[in-house]
Amino acid sequence: MARKKSPIRQLLSPTRIMIPIGIGLAVVAYVLLNEFDIEKFRQISWTGYSTFWFVIALLMVATRDLGYMYRIRHLTDKKISWRNSFDVIMLWEFASAITPSVVGGSGVAIFIVNREGVSMGKSTAVVMITAFLDELFYVVTVPVIILIVGFEHLFPLALQKSIFGIDLGVRELFFVGYGFIVVLISVIFYAIFIDPGKFKNLLTTVFRLPFLRKWRTSAAETGDEIIVTSKELKGKPRSFWLKAFGATLFSWTARFWIVNFLILSFSAAVISGGDHFLIYARQLVMWVILLISPTPGGTGVAEFAFSGFLEDFIVPSGIAVSLALLWRLLSYYPYLVMGVIILPRWIRRVYLKRKLISFKRG
């Protein structure tokens, strides 16, 4: 029987790293050959105002990561230092960047948190509740933003298509995706906070079906992880959850505001407060598309989705796709670079630490 690769060996795979880089380079080449318009770029007047908002966009990148660092420290009861939490977040983002969006990097994240000296049960709980909080942020934020901007301009008409006489587009994908996320967090809430034992029994029963039977062992393991997670989180005070969700709100808001400030930097048009809410709202819709992307980190899909959703707010319009590339250069590709730099050093640190602990015990 072939030995299963460890999460770190999978993370170090050159193929995993080169795939998103290759797709990204292909997208850049396509844009430069087909979409780049030097005359449009000459219309951009770079001023002190532009520099100011570009610096704010950079600060949003740092703010996003600081929020994630605070959250990981809070959820682990400060067992991970600020310095080490930086490594954890960078490696977590790195794992997500080289993994298809539909898969995510949760398995690697559990391994990383565990190697920082957090028990496996608590590591599993931290990663699962992090995913829950991220989805909860989305479920709560969407209706609030829609109440502000309405439905009229939420979905770009250019992205609505008719296939075999059926209207299929961003609007339909959004409603299906949002509904799925609501169901998902409802199931997770029941499984973790109400009755994890019954959920495990239901899970193993479902996976007794003939076409699901080969995944029955994995389903049972998932049920066990949820029971452990429930025990770890039982009895946490309200302040614990308020701080955790506050950090989530802080990070995700900064993540979306990167785009708002980039558009302010480059767009020659005046962007009103209402436009900013609409830009934010369209990013929430766009996120559903990226969530189901089959490419690592949404590479390729993100760049073109950005143009389709946000070109209405970018003047001159010919720079939309190029601005999307700049957005990805700030919010995606740095994690590929940071991961490659940090991972070898992190491996030496955590494994040396384990050897020292074993030596002292011996």
Alpha carbon distance 201, 198 (integer Å): 5
- Predicted model pTM: 0.84
For residue range 147-161, list pLDDT tens digits in order: 999 888 888 765 655
Kindly report which listed range (107-111, 195-199, 267-271, 344-348) carries the lowest average pLDDT score: 267-271
CA distance 128 to 136: 12
Helices H / strands E in the chain, number of each: 15, 2
Sequence-distant (≥ 6) Cβ neighbours of residue 216 within 8 angstroms: 204, 207, 208
* Confidence band for 101, pLDDT divided at 50, 70 and 90: low
In this structure, of 18-22, 74-78, 128-132, the range with the lowest mean pLDDT score is 18-22
The separation between the first and the last C-alpha atoms of the chain, rounded to the nearest angstrom, is 33
Highest mean pLDDT among 36-50, 82-96, 143-157, 342-356: 82-96
Please give the average per-residue pLDDT across 102-131, as a whole number: 83
**CA torsion angle 242 243 247 249 (round to 10):** 10
Q: 358: buried, middle or exposed (CB in 10 Å: 19+, 13-18, 0-12)? A: exposed
Closest CA to 116 of 355, 362, 340, 351: 351
| DSSP symbols for 110-163 | HHHHHHTT--HHHHHHHHHHHHHHHHHHHHHHHHHHHHHH-STTTS-GGG-EEE
Q: Do 250 and 61 meet the contact criterion of CB atoms below 8 Å apart?
A: no
Predicted confidence (pLDDT) per residue in 205-219, tens digit? 888 878 777 777 877
Within 13 Å and on the Cβ side, how many CA atoms surround 311?
16
Torsion region of 117: left, alpha or beta (phi above 0 gives left; psi -120 to 50 gives alpha): left
